[in-house]
Chains A and B, each alone.
Chain A
Amino acid sequence: MSKSFVFSAVGVVAASLALAACGSSGGSSGGSSGGSGGNSSDPIVIGASVSSTGAYASSGTNVAEGYQAAVDVINKSGGVLGRKLKLETKDDKSDAGTVSRIYTTFLAQDHVDALLSPYGSELAGPASQLAERYKTPMAHSQTSSPDVFTGTKWNVMAGLGPGSTVLAEVPAFAKLHGYTRVTLVNNDLDAYSQICDGAAAAVKAAGSTLVSRVTYAISTSDFSSTALKIKQSNPQVVIECSAIQDTIGITRAMNQQGFRPKLIASATAEDPAFVKSLGSLANKAIGYSIWAPTLKLPGGSDFTAAFKARYHADPNGQSAAAYATVQVLAAAIKAAGSTDKTKVNAQLHSGQFPTILGTYKVNADGVQEGYTPVLDQYQNGSLLIVYPKSDASVPAQLPY
């Protein structure tokens, strides 16, 4: 085989990667529905792109189901300002380019009344800029990166707290159990770095010791060297600010390299794939939640019932976050007394609204300040809240 054909093969593979990065070119589907147009009998139209297919299909589906469950509950109780909510969703294929096209259609052609975000900070970034350009309020459900909101006026973080708060309770929780030497592990994406930045600040605040911080490339598939680096610093606590596939790889590699910390915490432990993929290695791992049925926050039972009725399954945290986001948007419209975008946006930025996650409240940038995550732990296959003590359903089982 000639050298030129090796080049050809690799060249085409590189081209395929580039094509994959560009994503599919399919446009949005569905017809033009039009916004409410101010007629008091028209439904209030809310536009959202959802990742029904592509890399974020699983999480995107959770979000779409949460949005729809909220609309069901609100409409069942009479809607908002006497008008029904109408949710317009289109599949973004987990692709940022498609997200831009969908929101441009919502805003320039359909003239929707308000927007819900796509899944995750990566896709929400371009969508948020379109919301700014068209001066239309967008409530974000799964956007944890504060960078998306910096300098914006029409975007609010409604379904999550900022990434920096996600695992910020872990150092204090670990110290309660006598573990103070902490290693942080994160991939090199901003969203995950920010989770570990928050944990690093919390390590300092707790008076614990940050013995090392290991950063790895997002494309890493073999974690043996990463695990050895963690092992070399011999921490008692390992906090993984990682995507689910990396969390699985790191946890497994640490075990194979003969290192078992006293406490292991992950930003993605709540993902069902965590326990399914790691089996016994998942037991006693710590994760976080901003919603759980046992938290008994107001409206939680309505959400669970509506979700089960429509989808015949138990809801998870992502669906709950999406549900809360619609709750916030509906409450802001109600408080504004109309669908006037400026008035609704003002309410989203200044109002405080009860949700199933707690009381919604954002800062000047639109970043969430009202929700507090709780820590949970896998105990024999079940994810149970263990911290703070006021919310704990069982005592923590440590060491890991």
Chain B
Amino acid sequence: MVYLQVLLNGVLLGGFYLLMAQGLNLIFGVMGIVNLAHGAFIVLGGLGVYSLDQRGINPFLGLVIVMVAAAIVGAIVQWLVIERIKATGKQGELLSLMATFGLSYIAINIGQKEWGSDFKTIPYLQSAVHVGSLRFSVSLLVGVGLAAVMTAAIFGWLGHTRQGKSLVATSQNPLGAGTCGINPLRARLIGFSVGAALAAAAGMLLVLTQPIAPQLSTNYTIIAFVVIALGGIGNYAGAALGAVLVGAVQTLSGYQFGSVIQEAAPYLMLILIMLFRPNGLFARQGR
């Protein structure tokens, strides 16, 4: 029974990781921007919810506020920085990687200036739901729910709305999309905004689940990369399975072999994926 509990803990943790990865999957997987500032968006979103909570604003209302704020900041970043990178193809991706690397440092330092380096968390949803002898963390259950809703929403938006299809078309062939009447600048602004808002949403859950600080931003970027690399870049269903796999491997290895292995597990998985399944465990064909 204890192993079942460990496994379920891993599934819930996976839902949380999925929420972290969804924004990156959109920005990196669909738009082709290697966003190393993703973790910073997550942490600053969480710290924003923390500050609002300190002013008496419920974290769920805070979630809405920071998502809107992150979307605006994301649009500004896209317009001021990413959009200015004129190179295309691999050179463009490399330049976007370097630009977002710099942005992540700026964001981390802004975070430390504003919130300090101390760890912060909110004492909210700390309890668990009991089903027989099994227990489910309420905060992680909320995370799984949010991740499921957002995955479905993004999936539906990209595949079934004009705006989403415009974004995919722009990413695949900007020139062709332009000749079809799509405004590529607008599509990319919306795409980066949505990705940043999703990151902030993950941050809200993060600050409810564990203590966070700006200097941890890079860790969350890596976790998000591992999840989407496992699932197949740009593959939303694959990312969901990848997230659950990372979560389950972490909790099971942590229980069986200790937390050193638990913390190393995502990185070991990334190496193995790159070696043996470079397109991801659940990769779509043809991208």
Q: How far is the CA of A6 from the CA of B35 in the complex (A)?
A: 11
Is B58 on the interface with A (CB-CB < 8 A)? Answer: no
Per the 8 Å Cβ criterion, residues 232-254 of A in contact with B are 232, 244-245, 248-249, 252
Query: Assuming A1-B32, A188-B260, is B104 touching A16 (CB within 8 A)?
Result: yes
B251 partner residues in chain A, CB cutoff 8 A: 222, 224-225
- Whether A217 lies near B260 (C-beta < 8 A) is yes
Contact of B128 among A3, A249, A258, A280 (CB under 8 A): A258
- Whether B274 lies near A7 (C-beta < 8 A) is yes
A–B pairs, 19, beta carbons within 8 Å: A1-B93, A1-B233, A4-B90, A5-B93, A5-B94, A6-B233, A6-B278, A9-B225, A16-B104, A57-B117, A58-B116, A215-B258, A222-B13, A224-B6, A224-B9, A228-B5, A245-B210, A248-B210, A277-B211
Q: Which of A48-56, A288-296, A332-340, A357-365 contacts B (4 or more CB under 8 A)?
A: A48-56
Say how far B227's CB is from chain A's closest CB, in angstroms. Answer: 12
B254 partner residues in chain A, CB cutoff 8 A: 220, 222, 224-226
Taking each of A54, A56, A224, which has the highest tally of chain B beta carbons within 10 Å of its own beta carbon?
A224
Write the residues of chain B forming the contact surface with A, with a CB cutoff of 8 angstroms.
2, 5-6, 9, 13, 28-29, 32, 34, 36, 90, 93-94, 97-98, 101, 104-105, 112, 116-123, 126-128, 130, 135, 137-138, 210-211, 213, 215-216, 218-219, 221-222, 225, 229, 233-234, 250-252, 254-255, 258-260, 262-263, 270, 274, 278-279, 287
Is A10 on the interface with B (CB-CB < 8 A)? Answer: yes
Say how far A124's CB is from chain B's closest CB, in angstroms. Answer: 18
- Whether A3 lies near B279 (C-beta < 8 A) is yes
Is A201 on the interface with B (CB-CB < 8 A)? Answer: no
A58 partner residues in chain B, CB cutoff 8 A: 116-118
Q: How far is the CA of A3 from the CA of B112 in the complex (A)?
A: 33
- Whether B126 lies near A13 (C-beta < 8 A) is no
B229 partner residues in chain A, CB cutoff 8 A: 6
Nearest neighbor of B214 in chain A, beta-carbon distance: A55
- Whether A228 lies near B2 (C-beta < 8 A) is yes
- Whether A277 lies near B234 (C-beta < 8 A) is no
Contact of B34 among A8, A57, A217 (CB under 8 A): A8
Nearest neighbor of A279 in chain B, beta-carbon distance: B123
The 4 tightest CB contacts between A and B, nearest first, are A279-B123, A225-B254, A216-B259, A245-B119
* B interface: dominant SS: helix
- Whether A2 lies near B117 (C-beta < 8 A) is no
B255 partner residues in chain A, CB cutoff 8 A: 225, 228-229
A215 partner residues in chain B, CB cutoff 8 A: 258
A2 partner residues in chain B, CB cutoff 8 A: 90
Say how far B59's CB is from chain A's closest CB, in angstroms. Answer: 13
Nearest neighbor of B221 in chain A, beta-carbon distance: A13
Taking each of A9, A248, A252, which has the highest tally of chain B beta carbons within 10 Å of its own beta carbon?
A9
B225 partner residues in chain A, CB cutoff 8 A: 6, 9-10, 13
Say how far B270's CB is from chain A's closest CB, in angstroms. Answer: 7
Q: Apart from A216-B258, A217-B258, what 6 extra A-B contacts exist at CB < 8 Å?
A: A1-B233, A5-B90, A222-B210, A224-B137, A228-B6, A245-B119
Is A29 on the interface with B (CB-CB < 8 A)? Answer: no
Nearest neighbor of B17 in chain A, beta-carbon distance: A222
Contact of A244 among B2, B104, B119, B278 (CB under 8 A): B119
- Whether B118 lies near A273 (C-beta < 8 A) is yes
- Whether B119 lies near A279 (C-beta < 8 A) is no
Write the residues of chain A forming the contact surface with B, with a CB cutoff of 8 angstroms.
1-10, 12-13, 16-17, 20, 53-58, 94, 188, 215-217, 219-222, 224-226, 228-229, 232, 244-245, 248-249, 252, 255-258, 273, 276-281
- Whether B126 lies near A252 (C-beta < 8 A) is yes
Nearest neighbor of A11 in chain B, beta-carbon distance: B97
Q: How far is the CA of A245 from the CA of B120 in the complex (A)?
A: 8
- Whether A225 lies near B218 (C-beta < 8 A) is no
Query: Assuming A1-B233, A220-B262, is B36 touching A9 (CB within 8 A)?
Result: yes
Q: How far is the CA of A222 from the CA of B212 in the complex (A)?
A: 12
- Whether B259 lies near A281 (C-beta < 8 A) is no
Say how far A359's CB is from chain B's closest CB, in angstroms. Answer: 33
- Whether B260 lies near A277 (C-beta < 8 A) is no
- Whether B123 lies near A225 (C-beta < 8 A) is no
Q: How far is the CA of A228 from the CA of B6 in the complex (A)?
A: 8
- Whether B135 lies near A257 (C-beta < 8 A) is yes
Say how far A82's CB is from chain B's closest CB, in angstroms. Answer: 41
- Whether B119 lies near A273 (C-beta < 8 A) is yes
Say how far B126's CB is from chain A's closest CB, in angstroms. Answer: 6
Q: How far is the CA of A45 from the CA of B18 in the complex (A)?
A: 56
- Whether B117 lies near A277 (C-beta < 8 A) is no
Q: How far is the CA of A225 from the CA of B262 in the complex (A)?
A: 9
Q: How far is the CA of A2 from the CA of B229 in the complex (A)?
A: 11
- Whether B263 lies near A220 (C-beta < 8 A) is yes
Query: Assuming A20-B218, A56-B117, is B97 touching A9 (CB within 8 A)?
Result: yes
Say how far B37's CB is from chain A's closest CB, in angstroms. Answer: 11
Say how far A319's CB is from chain B's closest CB, in angstroms. Answer: 16
Nearest neighbor of A7 in chain B, beta-carbon distance: B274
- Whether B211 lies near A248 (C-beta < 8 A) is yes
Query: Assuming A13-B222, A257-B128, A258-B128, is B116 touching A217 (CB within 8 A)?
Result: no
Q: How far is the CA of A255 from the CA of B126 in the complex (A)?
A: 8
Query: Assuming A16-B218, A94-B117, is B123 touching A278 (CB within 8 A)?
Result: yes
Query: Assuming A217-B263, A273-B119, is B258 touching A245 (CB within 8 A)?
Result: no
Q: How far is the CA of A278 from the CA of B210 in the complex (A)?
A: 11
Say how far B161's CB is from chain A's closest CB, in angstroms. Answer: 23
Nearest neighbor of A188 in chain B, beta-carbon distance: B260
Nearest neighbor of B287 in chain A, beta-carbon distance: A1
A252 partner residues in chain B, CB cutoff 8 A: 126
Q: How far is the CA of A7 from the CA of B274 in the complex (A)?
A: 8
- Whether B9 lies near A277 (C-beta < 8 A) is no
Contact of B278 among A3, A20, A56, A276 (CB under 8 A): A3
Q: How far is the CA of A9 from the CA of B29 in the complex (A)?
A: 13
Contact of A16 among B90, B101, B112, B262 (CB under 8 A): B101
Q: How far is the CA of A1 from the CA of B280 in the complex (A)?
A: 11
- Whether A280 lies near B123 (C-beta < 8 A) is yes
